[in-house]
Structure 1
Amino acid sequence: MSRLYASLFYQKQVTEIFSDRSLLIYMTVVEVALAKAQASVGVIPQEAAQSIETICTAQIVEQLDMEALVMASEQAGNIAIAFVKQLTAIVKASDEKASRYVHWGATSQDILDTACILQCRDALDIIEAQLGNVHQTVLAQAQTHRNLIMIGRTWLQQALPITFGHKLARWASVCKRDLARIGQMKPRVLSVQLGGAVGSLASLGNHGSAVVSAFSRQLNLTAPVCTWHGERDRIVEMASVLALIVGNLGKMARDWSLMMQTEIGELQEPAGNGRGGSSTMPHKRNPVAAASVLAAASRVPVLMASLYQGMVQEHERSLGGWQAEWLSLPEIFQLCSGALERTLNVLDGMRVSPEMMQRNLECTHGLVMAEAVMMALAPKLGRLNAHHLVEDACKRAIKEQRHLKALIGEIEEVRQQFTATQLDDIFRPASYIGNIQEQIDAVLRQAVGAAD
C-alpha cells in the first residue's frame, strides 16, 4: 500500500513487522535456529552451527542483493529459494565448511511458514496490547457514564432508554472475549513448520522428531505433532480472530459515527488541528477515525475469503492457496492494528454531550416511554387491554402533537390507577432501564477476573 494511504489505515510497528526487510530478518532467524537445533541433536557439527549463528545476524540483510532476490523470486516461485542461495554464499565467504549445512534438510515452505509464524507472534503481541488498552479505556468510560441516560435505538429508530455506560459496557465485554480468543489460540497456532519436501523429514534420517522439538525450543514456539504444509487452519484461525476484532471495532465505529450525525450530536471524535475538516465546507467535523475503522471492517472480510478458499489444498504441498496468504495475511494484521489504534484514540478523547442525549430522549414527546406505561398498566388492566389503550394514546399524541404523558393522564382508567406523581415517575427515563446497572457491574467484575 502507498505510504499516503498506509497512514490512514495501518499501524507503523505492525507494518514494519511485515516489511520486506523484516521478513528477511525473520527468515535469517529461522535458518540460524534450524542450524542450532540440528547441531544440538548431532545432525550437523556444532562448529558449523556456531559459525552460521555468528555470520547470520540481523545485519546480514544489508549484504543481500534485494534486486537480485526480486528477480530470482519471480523465476523460483517464492523468496526462500533465492534467499537461501544468497545466505549460503555469504556464509561460504567466511566459512566454506559451515556453508554446507545452511538450510540442511528443510524445504522453502518450512522457512517461510516459520518466519510467518514469528511475524504473527510479534504482531499479535502488539495487537493484544492494543486491545487490552482499548478494553481498559472503554471500561473506564463505562464506569464514568454508567448513569448517563440516552435513547436506545433499534432498526435505527428510537426504542427505549438505556445509559451510555451500558453501550460502552457492551463494547468492553466484546473486547474481553476477543482478548480471551487471542490467549486461547496462541499455543495452538504459534507452531514451527519443519517437514522437508513432503512432510516426512526423510533427509534427517531418524533425527526428524528430535530436530523439530529442538527447533521449536530455539524459537520458543509450539512443536506440532505433525507437519502442516497443506493444512492451513493455524493461519486461518489467527486471521479469523483478527477479523472478529475488526468486525467488533467496526460495530463501535458505526455506533459512534451515527451518534456524531448533526441531527443527533451526542458524541464527537477528539478535536485536532485540521482533523475531520472538509475541503469546501468549513463547518464540517467528519468522523475520520470511524471512516478508517469502517474501511478496515469492509476490507478484512474480502481478504478472509481468499484465506478460506486457500484452505482447499492439493496433497502434501499446494499450488496457489499457500501463496495467496502472502498477500492477505499481512494486510489483515495491519488493518486490525490500525483499527485498534484509531479506536483507542476515539475512546480516550471522545467528547460526550449529555445535553444532546437529553434532547433526543425528549424529542418524541414521551412516546419512547409508551412501553413503560403499558407495563405499569398491564397488571391492573391486562396486557392486551393496556397495549390497546396506550397505542391509541400514542396515535393521538402524534396526530395532536401533544406530549404522551398529558394524554395518558386524561384517560379515566389511568387516573383510577395512578396519581400524577406516580405517572411522572413512570415517564422518568431513568426508571425504565431494567438491569443495566447490574450488567455494567458484571462487566466490571469480569474485567478483573471476578466472574467468568
Structure 2
Amino acid sequence: MSQLYASLFYQPDVTTIFSDQALLNYMIQAEVALAKAQAQVNVVPIAAATMIEQVGQSALEKIDFDALAVATGLAGNIAIPFVKQFTAIVKQHDEDASRYVHWGATSQDIIDTATILQCRDALGLIEKQLHSAYQISLQQAERYRDQVMIGRTWLQQALPITLGHKFARYAAAFKRDLDRLQSMKDRVLTAQLGGAVGSLASLQDQGSAVVQAFSAELGLSTPECTWHGERDRIVEIASLLAMIVGNVGKMAKDWSLLMQTEIAEVYEPTAKGRGGSSTMPHKRNPVAAASILAAANRVPALMASVYQSMVQDHERALGAWHAEWLAIPEIFQLCAGALERSNEVLQGIEVNVDAMQRNLETTQGLIMAESVMMALAAKIGRLNAHHLVEQACQQAVEQDTHLKNILSNLDEVKEHFSAQALDQLFQPKSYLGNIQAQIDAVLQAAQGDSK
C-alpha cells in the first residue's frame, strides 16, 4: 500500500505487524522456538539452542533485505533464503550451533507459524478496537434511546424508530463479533510443524513431543496433526475479519445516507481539512464512510482468493498457499482501518434533532398509517381497516394534505376514535413497539459480560 493512501485505509499498528521487518522477526521467533523445543526433548544440544536464541535477539539487524528480496523471487518463498541468512548469522557466532538451525522443519512450517503469530498479535488489536466500538455503541444507545427518527426500508420512509435503537443494533453486532473472536482463538491460533510432507520423519520418534514443546514455546495451540494443506484455520480468521468489515460497512452506509443534504440527520465529526471539496466550499463529505465502504468493497474480493486457496493439492500446495500471503495482510489492514474510522465516527457523531423531527413530518402523516390501521383493525377487522386506510392515504397524496385530515372526516373513524385519540395515533413516539425492550436487552447483555 502506498504511504499516501495508508492513512485513509489502514491502521498503523496492524500495518506494522504485517511489515517485512515484522514478518522476519516472527520467523526468527519460530526458528528460536523450534530449537528450544528440540533441546527440551534432546533432539538438539541445549548449547546450540541457547546460542540460536541469543543470536536471534539481534539477527534482524543483520539480515540483508535487498538480497533476501531477490532470492525470494528465485526460491519461491521467503523461508528458504531467510534460513540461509539466519544460519550464516548463527555460524558467525558458533559453527556447531548453526548446524541445528531449522532442524527437521520445512519452509511452510516457519511461514505458517509466523503468519499465525502475526494473526494473533493483529487479532489482539482488532479485539481492542471491537471492544471500544462495542462500548461506544452501548453508550450511544443509552444516550439516544428516546430520540425518535424515521426508520427506512428499501430507502423509503417506513415507521418511527429511535436513534438509540440503531446504536443498540450496532452494539449487538459488535458483541457477536467479539464472541466469534473469543470462540475461535484456541482453534485457529495453532502452531504448524510437519516437515516435508507432514510426517516429521526427520525427527524420528520425537516428532509429537517437539510439536507440543514448540507450540508451548510460542503460546500457541498444539495441532492434532499438521495442516499444511488444510487451510480452514486461515479462512476462519479471514472470514471473521470480513464479517467485521461487512458490519461496519453497513453502519457506514447508514450514516453516509443520513448525511445526505436532503436528510441531514447526522454528520461525521468535523476536523480541519476533513470532508471538504477541492472545488465546492460548501461540501461536507462522509470521508470516513468512504474509506470503510471501500474496504467493504475490497475485502470480499480478497476473501474469494482465500476461499479458493482451500482447494490444495496433496500434502503441500502449488500456488494456492502462496495466494494467502497477498490476501491475509491486506484483509487485516483493511479491517483495522475500517474499525479505527468507525470508532471515530461512532464516538463523535453529530446529531441533528431538528432534521429528524422535520423528516418525521415529511409525509404528512403517511408514516403513521399502520398505527391507525392496526388500531382500527381491532374495531372493524384488519382487512377492512387496511382497505380504508389505504384509500385514505391515496386521497391524502392526491390532495397534498395530512392523512389525519382525511381520516378525521371518515364516519368509520369518527365512530371509534375521538379527535384526541386520533391525534395520539399520529404521535411517532407512541408507535415504537418493543424498541425500548430491545435496547434494554442489549444493555443487560453487556452487563452480564462484565460480571
Category of TM-score, reference length = shorter chain: over 0.9
Distance 1:249 1:235 in 2: 22
- What residue is the counterpart of 1:334 in the other structure? 333
Secondary structure of the residue that 1:160 maps to in structure 2?
A: strand
Give the match for residue 284 of structure 1.
283
Q: What is the percentage of aligned positions where both structures have the same residue?
A: 66
Provide the residue aligned with 1:71 in structure 2. 70
| Matched residue type, 2:71 | A
TM-score, normalised to structure 1's length?
Answer: 0.99
Corresponding residue for residue 407 of structure 2 = 408
| AA matched with 2:426 | F
SS at match of 1:152: strand
The residue number in structure 2 matching 1:21 is 21
Match of 1:252 in 2: 251
Deviation of 1:450 after TM superposition, in Å, equals 6.5
What is the alpha-carbon distance in structure 1 between the residues aligned to residue 383 and residue 92 of structure 2?
Answer: 90
Q: Indicate yes or no: 2:255 matched with 1:264.
A: no
Map 1:29-428 → 2, pairs under 5 A: 29-57=29-57, 59-428=58-427
TM-score normalised according to structure 2 size: 0.99
Report the AA paired with residue 379 of structure 2: K
Inter-partner Cα distance in structure 2 for 1:431 and 1:349: 29
Secondary structure at the aligned position of 1:32 is classed as helix
User: Which whole-Å CA distance do the structure 1 matches of 2:164 and 2:229 have between them?
Assistant: 47
Aligned AA for 1:9? F
Q: Secondary structure at 2:193's aligned position in 1?
A: coil
Measured in 2, the distance between the counterparts of 1:55 and 1:154 equals 62
User: In the TM superposition, what is the alpha-carbon distance from 1:60 to its structure 2 partner?
Assistant: 1.5
CA shift digits 1:256-292 (9 cap, x unpaired) = 0000000000000000001000000000000000000
Q: 1:450 to 1:438 in 2, by over 3 A?
A: farther
In structure 2, what is the Cα distance between the partners aligned to 1:166 and 1:72? 56
The CA distance in 1 between the partners of 2:17 and 2:326, in whole Å, is: 14
- Give the AA of the match of 2:32: V
- 1:115-149 Cα deviation digits (max 9, x unpaired): 00000000000000000000000110000000000
**In structure 2, C-alpha distance between the alignment counterparts of 1:296 and 1:92, rounded to whole Å:** 45
Distance across 2 between alignment mates of 1:306 and 1:413: 62
Distance 1:53 1:207 in 2: 21
Distance in 2 (CA, whole Å) between partners of 1:220 and 1:292 is 35
Q: CA deviation at 1:449?
A: 1.9
Q: Structure 1, unaligned stretches of length 5 or more?
A: none
Cα distance in 1 between the residues matched to 2:309 and 2:387: 57
- The 4+ residue runs of structure 1 with deviation greater than 3 A are none
Equivalent position SS for 1:139:
helix
Distance 1:96 1:302 in 2: 47
| Matches of 2:205 and 2:146, distance apart in 1 | 67
Distance in 1 between residues matched to 2:354 and 2:224, nearest whole Å: 60
Matched, 1:445 2:447: no
Query: How many residue pairs get matched?
Result: 451
Query: Secondary structure, in 3 states, of the residue corresponding to 1:417?
Result: coil
Aligned residue for 1:158, secondary structure, equals strand
Equivalent position amino acid for 2:89 in 1: I
Deviations 1:372-399 (A, max 9, x none): 0000000111111111111111111111
Residue ranges of structure 2 left out of the alignment (5+ in a row):
none
* Comparing 332-341 and 383-392, the one that deviates more: 383-392
For the residue of structure 1 that corresponds to 2:160, the secondary structure is strand
Distance 2:56 2:367 in 1: 69
Per the alignment, in what secondary structure is the counterpart of residue 157 of structure 2?
strand
The offset of 1:448, in angstroms, is 2.0
The secondary structure found in structure 1 opposite 2:415 is helix
RMSD: 1.0
Q: Amino acid of the residue matched to residue 188 of structure 2?
A: V
CA distance in 2, matches of 1:387, 1:350: 39
Q: Which amino acid aligns with 2:344?
A: N
Q: 1:438, 1:125 → 2: CA distance? A: 33
C-alpha distance in 1 between matches for 2:248 and 2:120: 21
State the secondary structure of the residue aligned to 1:449: helix
Pairing 1:12–2:12 present: yes
3-state SS, counterpart of residue 448 of structure 2: coil
Q: CA deviation at 1:113?
A: 0.2
